[in-house]
Amino acid sequence: MQSQYDLNLILNPNLSGEQLQTEKDYISNAVQSAGAEVTNLDDAGNRRMAYPIQKDREGYYLMYTIKASGDPEKDIAASLRLRDNVRRVLVVKDRPEWKTKKA
């Protein structure tokens, strides 16, 4: 059974358009090779961070929604952390009780 996960990444903010597309392609390939599928991508762009990471005050934010079985933290995140332009990786299992209903 496949569960839904959020895959959040912070990339180097100084990437060119071509380098950024290369990173996005690599991330998509890593997700697919782990047997998961990308259902949504939210490209937030450069944002200011709360604290500097490798002397950068900004980061390029990508938030993927994926459907995966098994352990995507081990399968996907471990390979993405080895990339030079990836600053942070976070995989969180989406839980229905976190969804709030507006009155």
The domain locations on the chain are: 3-94
Secondary-structure class of domain 3-94 per CATH: alpha beta
pLDDT at 98: 62
Question: Looking up tokens 């890593």, which residue turns up?
Answer: 30
Dist CA 30 CA 50 (whole Å): 28
pLDDT at 50: 92
65-81: pLDDT as tens digits: 999 888 888 888 889 99
Q: List helix spans (H) across 9-77.
A: 17-33, 72
Token digits of residue 44: 């937030």
Confidence band, pLDDT 50/70/90 cuts, at residue 103: low
pTM of structure? 0.85
User: Is the pLDDT score of 33 beyond 80?
Assistant: yes
**One-letter identity of residue 27:** I
42-56: pLDDT as tens digits: 999 999 999 999 899
How distant, in Å, are the alpha carbons of 26, 40, 79 from that of 82? Answer: 12, 23, 6
pLDDT at 96: 67
